[in-house]
Amino acid sequence: MRKTQFAEGEFYHIFNRGVDKRIVFNNQRDLNRFFQSMVLFNTEEPIGSIYEHTYIKNTFGSSTSKKIKGRRLVNIVCYCLNPNHYHFILQPSIEKGIEKFMHRLSTGYTKYFNAKYKRSGVLFQGRYKSIHIDSNEQLLHTSVYVNLNFKGHCFGSSTSKTEEKMYLSSWDEYNGKSKFNFCKKDDILGQFKNRKEYKRFAEQALPGILERKETLKEMEE
């Protein structure tokens, strides 16, 4: 039985990685497909085959061919998709919203990945992990950790303009570099005068957050 009991309106840090730490996003097309699944599966209503919808070629700013009907299962506050793992901050908007959303998301993407790469079996390492965010301070710092997670793993620090970016993050949406309006950002950005102030807060807080993470990891080991 899952230790975390999800409650509507609360915030949760959700994360998981590939089984045996394997790569689960081999290229930009895989990242876009997972993101497309995040959009399409976030509804109470059945959507049919994902192939019936226009493929999101350009993730930021693109839309699907059919309007998604029904209530959202979750509000996606932040996300970061790295080559071998992902992070979310989710807020369930209906009962069992996170459970339903994550089941649809992981099952749908695993079927896509296994068919594309001619493999079988599980793709992610067991059931996704979850942490209840029970304070505003924790919410702000977790948003920084998720939004800038790619920097913690150096996935974005040395990428040139000619190289394929091997991550997708809501960071650009938060700091105003994207016209895309996918995440529910008001709970975070509403606490700052403007996006620049949040950006400054995030960049100053990140080193300490990563340092505390490494210290906890060493203690566990």
pTM of the model: 0.87
For residue 205, the number of C-alpha atoms closer than 13 Å in the C-beta half-sphere is 19
Q: Torsion over CA of 30, 32, 34 and 37, rounded to 10 degrees?
A: -140
Largest CA distance in the chain: 50
How confident is the model at residue 13, as a pLDDT? 97
How confident is the model at residue 180, as a pLDDT? 79
| Block residue for tokens 């939004």 | 147
Q: Which fold has domain 11-220?
A: Alpha-Beta Plaits (3.30.70)
Selection from 29, 53, 68, 72 nearest residue 168 by Cα: 29
Q: How far apart, in Å, do the first and last CA atoms of the chain sit? A: 25
Give dist(CA 129, CA 25) in Å, integer: 19
73 within 8 A of 84, measured Cβ to Cβ: no
What confidence tens digit (pLDDT) does each residue in 80-112 have? 999 999 999 999 999 999 999 999 999 999 999
Structure tokens at 172: 């650009």
How confident is the model at residue 166, as a pLDDT? 87
Selection from 120, 90, 142 nearest residue 19 by Cα: 120
Q: Where are the beta strands (DSSP E) in the chain?
A: 11-17, 74-82, 85-92, 129-133, 168-169
Give dist(CA 170, CA 148) in Å, integer: 9
Give the residue ranges of the chain where pLDDT is below 50.
1, 54-66, 157-162, 219-221
- Which residues does 92 contact at the CB level (< 8 Å), separation at least 6? 6, 7, 8, 9, 10, 12, 73, 74, 98
How confident is the model at residue 37, as a pLDDT? 94
| Block residue for tokens 């394929």 | 164
How confident is the model at residue 218, as a pLDDT? 55
Structure tokens at 18: 């590939």
Give dist(CA 189, CA 204) in Å, integer: 16
- Whether the CA torsion 211, 208, 167, 170 is positive or negative: it is positive
